[in-house]
């Protein structure tokens, strides 16, 4: 038995019948994680102390490096947070620990989650387990690569514009972005506060439901977390999709999509059809404006959130060799100059620009209005369908270095994932095939606010009929 | 047009020191991104209400019940420099 290739629910079944102990699982998965990490660089560090857990779900997990773990280095893959050890657990981490979960270490990411390839990490890029010369996607690339390579049973990522779903698609695993407010953001180092959501990256849909069961729920420490009951999401699995209305947004099937991605997604539509789902043609007319809207709203929020990193309290503090403006201002400006990487600087500058006097109305306010139009597109669409189906990404994983010098091209790789964040709705990426280079293709499903059960039921029905998720990268 | 002057102004608002070539590259990058963002001007949004938040929640309060938080020792355990339970920074008035 190869422990590292098993899903969480398979491992739990084996624990129950006495086939394996939690301690053995931790040993096996950690050994695998350490053995292949020089190739994938999915983990940027392993936890100082790793011991077997006790509880309802004592399985090893990878945590994205922007989620606080009490006493453990948490750096957002940025130099500006070097040495930072939060004195508290993020709410999701507290819930995982309460269930007996074992934190293996910190998963690599784009610096402050700014990126779609994991290449902006100050620790260097992660590599796609299906082809080490390619990116695992981002920003939760380390989390997705760790799950795909068997370096963790499952992982947590965060998704502001597709940062869970896009790497899940590139790595051939399942990535779920819950409804905004479903999961507490307490202890998630903020990027775009109106968009960020933590979610599971897993080997199959059942694991996604299991991990969501653990992390979802109201948290008084996050005033945007919603005080609504949390169902047992696994109970939605196995629900019939006969009669389920699946919307196909014509704006998501555009020139420029890799033909093999298109073919795999078309085949997935046929799988749903064969199961009796009703396929509905829908329109999301403002889709073409989503990326531009996102890069104004998200960078504006990011520039505000990142103002706190100024050398005063924690992380890096630096001074210029030659004084410029006075010691305190010099400290702020030099700490940020040395501490942030190129993409972080780009987004801070863009966000500051669109919020600055004279440009606020033209850019930020206008983008917030277009956000309303994008949200209304979904409200209308969900009158005609229950689930929306699309590719997760226009292409499969690209080569390391390919898009680093063209920010707009990099931003466009999130074209299909950004709208769900703008509208706050839940969305999932599941494996739906491979291209000619044996790189995974991701299928995205989106549902209305708090309709995670519908989403998971549809994803599970597809996965059972088309078990692409069972393929494992050979490393 | 994003000029060197604009970059300087924005970088001082952002408290971000930029060196020469870095500032030039950023000017070009911002120009390209804002050029792309200009497509939003094609939409008539005069009568549209802006969305700052997707949930219809406002003024979330909780009961004012005292509960233990971080101790000063915990809070300052990761401070760059602290003294008497305060963060220590360079002199503000020089």
Question: Quick one: tokens of A302?
Answer: 């990011």
Residue A362 per-residue DSSP state: I
What is the set of active-site residues of A?
Answer: 64, 139, 163
Residue whose token pair is 């509208």 = A423
Give the count of beta carbons closer than 10 Å to the beta carbon of residue A118.
Answer: 34
Domain-located, residue B28: yes
Tell if the CB–CB gap between A408 and B33 is shorter than 8 Å. yes
Render pLDDT for B35-71 as a digit per residue (tens, 0 to 9).
Answer: 999 999 999 999 999 999 898 777 888 889 998 989 9
Cβ contacts of A72 on chain B, cutoff 8 Å = none
Render pLDDT for A406-460 as a digit per residue (tens, 0 to 9).
Answer: 878 788 889 999 999 999 999 999 999 999 999 999 999 999 999 999 999 999 9
Residue A188 per-residue DSSP state: B
Q: What 3-state class would DSSP assign to A388?
A: strand
* Residue range of the domain that includes B31: 1-44
Distances in Å between the alpha carbon of A152 and those of A216, A234, A422?
A: 20, 21, 30
Confidence at residue A354, expressed as pLDDT on a 0 to 100 scale: 97
Confidence at residue A377, expressed as pLDDT on a 0 to 100 scale: 98
**CA A119/CA A413 separation, integer angstroms:** 14
- Give residue limits of the domains in chain A: 3-240+427-470
Chain A residue closest in CA terms to B15: A333
Confidence at residue A404, expressed as pLDDT on a 0 to 100 scale: 84
Domain-located, residue B68: no
**CA B8/CA B17 separation, integer angstroms:** 9
Query: Any chain A CB within 8 A of the CB of B1?
Result: no
Query: If you classify domain A3-240+427-470 with CATH, what class do you get?
Result: alpha beta
Among candidate residues A127, A92, A106, the one with its CA nearest the CA of residue A64 = A106
Chain B residue closest in CA terms to A220: B62
Could you tell me whether strands A60-64 and A102-107 are parallel, antiparallel, or unpaired per DSSP bridges? parallel
Chain B contact probe: residue of A223, A290, A349, A407 with most B CBs at under 10 A: A349
Tell if the CB–CB gap between B41 and A366 is shorter than 8 Å. yes
Q: What is the ipTM of this complex?
A: 0.95
pLDDT for A92 beyond 70 = yes
Confidence at residue A466, expressed as pLDDT on a 0 to 100 scale: 98
Least confident of A22-26, A53-57, A297-301: A53-57
Render pLDDT for A158-179 as a digit per residue (tens, 0 to 9).
Answer: 999 999 999 999 999 999 999 9
pLDDT averaged over every residue in chain A? 97
**CA A374/CA A200 separation, integer angstroms:** 25
Could you tell me whether strands A440-447 and B82-83 are parallel, antiparallel, or unpaired per DSSP bridges? unpaired
Confidence at residue A318, expressed as pLDDT on a 0 to 100 scale: 97
Tell if the CB–CB gap between B87 and A311 is shorter than 8 Å. no
- The pLDDT of A63-88, averaged and rounded, is 97
Residue A137 per-residue DSSP state: -
Domain-located, residue B26: yes
- The pLDDT of A84-106, averaged and rounded, is 97
Q: How confident is the model at residue A142 (pLDDT cuts 50, 70, 90)?
A: very high
Which residues, other chains included, contact A117 with Cβ-Cβ below 8 Å and sequence gap of 6+? A110, A125, A135, A136, A137, A138, A141, A398, A400, A403, A404, A410, A413
Residue whose token pair is 């709410």 = A91
Confidence at residue A447, expressed as pLDDT on a 0 to 100 scale: 98
Domain-located, residue B32: yes
Confidence at residue B6, expressed as pLDDT on a 0 to 100 scale: 94
Render pLDDT for A109-125 as a digit per residue (tens, 0 to 9).
Answer: 999 999 999 999 999 99
Query: Any chain A CB within 8 A of the CB of B24?
Result: no
Domain-located, residue B78: no
Q: How confident is the model at residue A1 (pLDDT cuts 50, 70, 90)?
A: low
Q: Residue window 2-21, chain B: list those with CB within 8 Å of chain A.
A: 6-7, 9-11, 13-19
CB distance A67 to A77 below 8 Å? no
Render pLDDT for A370-418 as a digit per residue (tens, 0 to 9).
Answer: 999 999 999 999 999 999 999 999 999 999 999 888 878 788 889 999 9
Confidence at residue A405, expressed as pLDDT on a 0 to 100 scale: 81
Compute and round to an integer the Cα radius of gyration of chain B. Answer: 23
Tell if the CB–CB gap between A408 and B32 is shorter than 8 Å. yes
Q: What 3-state class would DSSP assign to B57?
A: coil
Say which CATH number the domain at B9 has: 1.10.20.60
* Torsion, Cα of B41, B43, B45, B47 (10° steps): 150
Tell if the CB–CB gap between B55 and A424 is shorter than 8 Å. yes
Domain-located, residue B50: no
Tell if the CB–CB gap between B40 and A367 is shorter than 8 Å. yes
Domain-located, residue B3: yes
**CA A87/CA A90 separation, integer angstroms:** 10
Q: How confident is the model at residue A82 (pLDDT cuts 50, 70, 90)?
A: very high
Cβ contacts of A363 on chain B, cutoff 8 Å = 34, 37
Among candidate residues A2, A9, A58, the one with its CA nearest the CA of residue A28 = A2
- Beta strands (DSSP E) in A47-149 are 60-64, 102-107
CA triplet A174, A180, A181: central angle to 5 degrees?
Answer: 115
Cβ contacts of A367 on chain B, cutoff 8 Å = 37, 40
Tell if the CB–CB gap between B78 and A296 is shorter than 8 Å. no
Compute and round to an integer the Cα radius of gyration of chain A. Answer: 21
Q: In A385-431, where does DSSP find H-type helix? A: 407-412, 418-423
Give the count of beta carbons closer than 10 Å to the beta carbon of residue A236.
Answer: 20
Chain A residue closest in CA terms to B87: A313
Number of domains in chain B: 1
Cβ contacts of A423 on chain B, cutoff 8 Å = 54
Tell if the CB–CB gap between B22 and A224 is shorter than 8 Å. no
Domain-located, residue B88: no
**How many beta-carbon pairs below 8 A join chains A and B?**
159
Give the count of beta carbons closer than 10 Å to the beta carbon of residue B83.
Answer: 9
Using CA of residue A30, residue A106, residue A59, residue A153, what is the dihedral sign? Answer: negative
Give the count of beta carbons closer than 10 Å to the beta carbon of residue A45.
Answer: 15
**CA B35/CA B31 separation, integer angstroms:** 6
């Amino acid at each position: 038995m190869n422990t590292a290739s098993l899903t969480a629910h398979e491992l739990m079944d084996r624990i129950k019948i006495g086939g394996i102990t939690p301690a053995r699982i931790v040993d096996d998965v950690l050994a695998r994680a350490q053995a292949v990490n020089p190739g994938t660089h999915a983990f940027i560090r392993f936890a100082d102390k790793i011991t077997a857990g006790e509880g309802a779900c004592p399985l090893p997990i990878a945590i994205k490096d922007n989620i606080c773990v009490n006493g453990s280095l948490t750096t957002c893959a940025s130099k500006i947070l070097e040495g930072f050890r939060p004195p508290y657990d993020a709410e999701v981490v507290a819930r995982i620990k309460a269930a007996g979960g074992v934190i293996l270490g910190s998963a690599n990411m784009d610096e402050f989650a700014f990126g779609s390839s994991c290449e902006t990490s100050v620790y260097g890029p992660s590599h796609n387990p299906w082809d080490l010369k390619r990116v695992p996607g981002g920003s939760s690339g380390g989390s997705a690569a760790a799950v795909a390579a068997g370096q963790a049973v499952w992982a947590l990522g965060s998704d502001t514009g597709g940062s869970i779903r896009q790497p899940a698609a590139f790595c051939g695993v399942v990535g779920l972005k819950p409804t905004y407010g479903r999961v507490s953001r307490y202890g998630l180092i903020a990027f775009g506060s109106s968009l960020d959501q933590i979610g599971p990256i897993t080997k199959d849909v059942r694991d996604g439901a299991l991990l969501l069961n653990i992390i979802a729920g109201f948290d008084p420490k996050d005033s945007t977390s919603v005080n609504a009951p949390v169902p047992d999401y696994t109970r939605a699995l196995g629900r019939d999709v006969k009669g389920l209305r699946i919307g196909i947004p014509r704006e998501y099937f555009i020139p420029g999509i890799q033909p093999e991605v298109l073919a795999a997604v078309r085949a997935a539509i046929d799988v749903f059809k064969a199961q009796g789902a009703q396929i509905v043609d829908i329109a999301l007319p403002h889709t073409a404006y989503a990326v531009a809207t996102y890069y104004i709203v998200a960078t504006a929020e990011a520039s505000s959130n990142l103002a706190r990193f100024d050398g005063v309290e924690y992380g890096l503090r630096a001074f210029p060799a030659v004084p410029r403006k006075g010691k305190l201002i010099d400290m702020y400006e030099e700490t940020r100059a040395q501490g942030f990487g190129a993409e972080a600087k780009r987004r801070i500058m863009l966000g500051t620009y669109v919020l600055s006097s004279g440009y606020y109305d033209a850019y930020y306010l206008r983008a917030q209005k277009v956000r309303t139009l994008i949200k209304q597109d979904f409200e209308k669409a969900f009158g005609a369908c229950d689930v929306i189906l699309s590719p997760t990404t226009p292409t499969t994983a690209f080569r390391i270095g390919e898009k680093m010098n063209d920010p707009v091209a990099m931003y466009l790789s999130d074209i299909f994932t950004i709208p769900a964040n703008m509208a706050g709705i839940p969305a999932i990426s599941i494996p739906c095939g491979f291209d000619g280079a044996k790189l995974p293709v991701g299928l995205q499903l989106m549902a209305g606010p708090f309709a995670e059960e519908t989403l998971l039921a549809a994803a599970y029905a597809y996965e059972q009929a088309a078990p692409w998720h069972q393929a494992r990268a050979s490393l | 047009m994003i000029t060197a002057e604009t970059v300087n102004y924005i970088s001082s608002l952002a408290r971000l020191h930029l060196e020469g070539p870095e500032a030039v590259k950023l000017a070009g990058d911002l120009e390209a991104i804002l050029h792309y963002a200009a497509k939003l001007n094609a939409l008539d949004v005069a009568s549209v209400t802006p969305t700052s938040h997707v949930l219809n929640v406002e003024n979330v309060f909780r009961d004012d019940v005292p509960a233990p938080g971080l101790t000063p020792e915990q809070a300052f355990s990761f401070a760059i420099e602290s003294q008497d339970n305060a963060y220590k920074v360079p002199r503000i008035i020089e």
